[in-house]
Amino acid sequence: MSLRLSVIGTGYLGAVHAAAMAELGHTVVALDVDETKIAELAAGRAPFYEPGLPELLTSALASGRLTFTTDYALASDADVHFVCVGTPQRPGENAADMRYVDSSFEELARHLQGPTLVVGKSTVPVGTASRLEQMLRSKAPGGDQVSLAWNPEFLREGFAVKDTLHPDRLVYGVHPGERGARAKALLDQVYAATIADGTPVVVTDYATAELVKVSANSFLATKISFINAMSEVCEAAGADVVALAEAIGHDDRIGAKFLGAGIGFGGGCLPKDIRAFMARAGELGADQALTFLREVDAINMRRRSRMVDLAREQCDDSFIGKRVAVLGAAFKPDSDDVRDSPALSVAAQVRLQGAHVTVHDPQAIANARRRWPDLDYADSALEAMQGAHVVLHLTEWQEYRDLDPAVAGQVVATRRIIDGRNKLDVHRWTDAGWTLRALGRPTAVAHQA
């Protein structure tokens, strides 16, 4: 059954969700206060890089089921309203900044008409849904006819379209009793095609639903920092963290995913989510439960410093007068997102210590320039490597793995590369005369003819 949906917020989450819901057959009005962003999306242009989204936008717009607007009134008669605005880290604090969520709910409340369901998808501190439900019921005209559900998102950048159309689970946080039953029934209609494909549905209370996303991200962050802690031990012991990860990953209680040692995680979710989780736990008096996340965060940040130290060692212990090539600016491949990017953090630290740094990325250069205008940028990997005394591989784009080490060796000043993601073929590079370092692995020295 086709429903009328509104999507409030057309950032990364909202734009993908709106286009995907239209693809599933619903009529969708997507709303944002940013007129430029709305104009771009209405023309079928995604304001960020996400594989598959341009095609999804084009299809949804052509069907007539998707429209974009800045006017809340045009979204007022929707059966279901999805709130998809961001919750960045509050400046100078660990806690989440709730201004955008609160203002979106308050503005939406003024325009609600008749029986309707409001669904929060943003990642929020536990306790937010109960507070917002009270606000909706007090401020919305006919507030007793308004229901609230919390339906957290689990998008992976680079796979957001797939994760929205074919999620591995759906979580509904609903009010107990009849009101919650009505909310679940409406969400089941929204996701009817997805549920028919066999996607499991977990129905729970507000607080549990709010905790699912931050708990999942905290677990993933812990797993990444665990293998990076083992990387530190491997370096001290002369062991190989890649072989170690392979060995323990065969244990099905552990699994191989997220055991890739390197310079750690970044982006707009994991770092700010674990910090906000710690902050909220402190407010609830449960701060001792999450003290381990402080070390998870510390290990992650330490990896960046270690990469800088390795780069300095490869430059004969001084960056002064040296040229450093950085391959990667996005925090992960298949994305142009540079928020809390480990690659750019390392690049900036190396530059501050005196090196001439040139960065390349297949998709994220424009965003990187805006955030780090003092760095130099190149249009190709080989251009970035021109005259470099050391090359840093910091975002695992496939094109960097496919580089010809022999060709690359012709443009650098010194054939030295540090693999910050442990993804390069060691033998290909050493056979071409390169010395390769990697976090948590013994040095691979150029083969002698």
DSSP state for residue 124 in the 8-state scheme: -
- Tokens for 179, please give them: 């009101």
269 is catalytic: yes
User: Tokens for 430?
Assistant: 């050493």
Catalytically annotated residue among 84, 234, 269, 315: 269
CA dihedral 231, 234, 239, 241 (to 10 degrees): -10
The rounded distance, in Å, linking the Cα atoms of 436 and 390 is: 10
* 3-state helix/strand/coil string of 366-379: HHHHHHCCCCEECC
The low-confidence residues of the chain, meaning pLDDT below 50, are 448-449
pLDDT, one tens digit per residue, over 359-389 is 999 999 999 999 999 999 999 999 999 999 9
pLDDT score for 449: 37
- Joined tokens for residue 274: 């674990």
**What pLDDT was estimated at residue 363?**
97
Domains (range + CATH), the chain: 4-203 (3.40.50.720), 205-449 (3.40.50.720)
pLDDT of the residue at 144: 80
**372 and 339 in contact (C-beta within 8 Å)?**
no
Between the alpha carbon of residue 181 and those of residues 130, 146, 178, 188, the distances in Å are 17, 13, 5, 10
Return the pLDDT at 447.
56
Rounded (to 5) percent helix, strand, coil in the chain: 45, 15, 40
DSSP 14-42: HHHHHHHHHHTT-EEEEE-S-HHHHHHHH
CA distances from 317 to 235, 263, 309, 323 (A): 18, 20, 9, 13
What b/e readout covers 118-141, taking b as 16+ CB neighbours within 10 angstroms?
A: bbbbbbbbbebbbebbebbbeebe
What tokens does 358 get? 């040139």
The rounded Cα 60 to chain-centroid distance in angstroms is: 24
